[in-house]
A and B are shown apart, each in its own frame.
Chain A
């Protein structure tokens, strides 16, 4: 029974992890850059959710559409002002974009420290535990896991079944090929960063339901997201789904049997193991 409980918890955690990684993945796929500010967007969205709920007493879930729309706009502006000017610089772009997003992360974290302080906060909402067939199911974990997986599912449908999504997916797989189809790659870069930021925002709203957050958590979340993206294969959206689930399951099991200290290093151990044994990532199993 305990194993089944751990699996359920792991899958639900994995659902949130998938969403955590997809924003970073989208930006990496289309723009070819690692957005080091990813975790800071998640954290600020989480802290804002805490502030909003404690001040208005509304359900945090109302914030999901609002944060999505707001972060779409913020992401679009940030991309246009900070990252698009780098796009023409060829290979120098990669290093410069790391510096720019690192700087951006720093600014966001410092601003968050000023607004929200440095203490860890978590939401008291959705703390009910349901008993289903002998399993204890935590309401917050269900909300975060199911919504995380659902929103990732929407991303998948958009990428694979709509003209604009297919254009973005094509750009992420081959920008030159996309241009020959008349796709405006510059516009795709803007869209990818806007949606990447919006997904990071939603991830923050969901994450504060299941994890305590504070401003300095930003770096840990960037790294955790990067680990999931790298595990799945950089820029591979299906791979990130497998990687998120795997990480959730392994963390849930390790946390129970070996304790919280070991659980924290699990992502990095997995990453190192996979880089040695399977550097192409989980998503490329078919080849």
Chain B
């Protein structure tokens, strides 16, 4: 998985330009632009209600954008039906995990695996279960009966089974014990080592900056600050003011 393999020499997995989205009369995202470089983790930092989830849902088509462009590896996807965007190669780990509570863990992997070419499915499953040994032992258990951390792992595993070119993670740390959060972020680091492009929405600056190569801060539906983790750490007081911390 290397950028030079792409004939158009695309450097961005995802490019969002001037995106506007909302619900009914309410506009949540105002003119949002950001990029996710190929093979890197980009973090989207923001307080509760800043628009992180809406942005991720607008990228995956769960919320229809009103204006703007969304390009996945050079291909325009804004306005497409959400299942087609999933098929185009975005793996979405939504907020609240959105698992199938009465279906076993293995069914989650199978359902994600529908989007993976059949001849690669078994190998991908091996790789995904290698990342999450905890859930490998619970394949037959109903997802609704798992702990919060295990559910988060199933949600990520399901998204990885779609064989995505870009992974969107919506606050995977929400509601988890610090120790579990740490293991989720270690997995993210492993994914980055494997060359996965990731956009991570996160509230905690410490956690977010620990894994990311690039960060954007969103506040009231606008990107207010962008930079490398080093730059944001240098401007920590400004960044934290935006995050409402």
Measured CB to CB, the residues of A under 8 A from B are: 163, 166-167, 169-170, 173-174, 176-186, 236, 286-287
Interface string of B37-68 (1 = CB under 8 A from A): 00000000000000000000000101000000
Contact (Cβ within 8 A) B99 A174:
yes
Contact (Cβ within 8 A) A180 B102:
no
Contact residues of A: prevailing secondary structure: helix
Contact (Cβ within 8 A) B103 A181:
no
Does B82 touch A at the CB level, under 8 Å? yes
On chain A, the residues within 8 Å of B236 by CB distance are none
Contact (Cβ within 8 A) A169 B100:
yes
- Across the two chains, which residue of chain A brings its CB closest to B144? A287
Candidates B86, B93, B144; contact of A182 at CB < 8 Å? B86
Interface string of B68-85 (1 = CB under 8 A from A): 000000000000011110
On chain A, the residues within 8 Å of B87 by CB distance are 182
Could you name 12 residue pairs across A and B whose Cβ atoms are closer than 8 Å? A166-B111, A170-B107, A176-B98, A177-B94, A177-B158, A180-B91, A180-B158, A182-B86, A182-B87, A183-B111, A236-B102, A286-B142
On chain B, the residues within 8 Å of A180 by CB distance are 60, 82, 86, 91-94, 98, 112, 158-159, 162
Q: Which of B103-138 contact A (CB under 8 A)?
A: 103, 107, 110-112, 114-115
Q: A166-B111, A181-B158, A182-B87 are in contact. Are A173 and B81 (CB under 8 A)?
A: no
Does B145 touch A at the CB level, under 8 Å? yes
In the bound complex, what is the Cα–Cα distance between A92 and B107 (angstroms)? Answer: 32
On chain B, the residues within 8 Å of A185 by CB distance are 83
Contact (Cβ within 8 A) A177 B83:
no
- Across the two chains, which residue of chain B brings its CB closest to A177? B98
Candidates B83, B97, B99; contact of A179 at CB < 8 Å? B83
Most central of A180, A181, A186 by chain B CB within 10 Å: A180
On chain B, the residues within 8 Å of A181 by CB distance are 86, 111-112, 114-115, 158, 162
In the bound complex, what is the Cα–Cα distance between A179 and B112 (angstroms)? Answer: 10
In the bound complex, what is the Cα–Cα distance between A238 and B158 (angstroms)? Answer: 25
Q: Which of B128-170 contact A (CB under 8 A)?
A: 142, 144-145, 158-159, 162
Does B175 touch A at the CB level, under 8 Å? no
Candidates A173, A176, A236, A286; contact of B103 at CB < 8 Å? A173
In the bound complex, what is the Cα–Cα distance between A184 and B83 (angstroms)? Answer: 6
In the bound complex, what is the Cα–Cα distance between A236 and B102 (angstroms)? Answer: 9
Chain A: minimal CB distance from B199 (Å): 14
Chain A: minimal CB distance from B175 (Å): 17
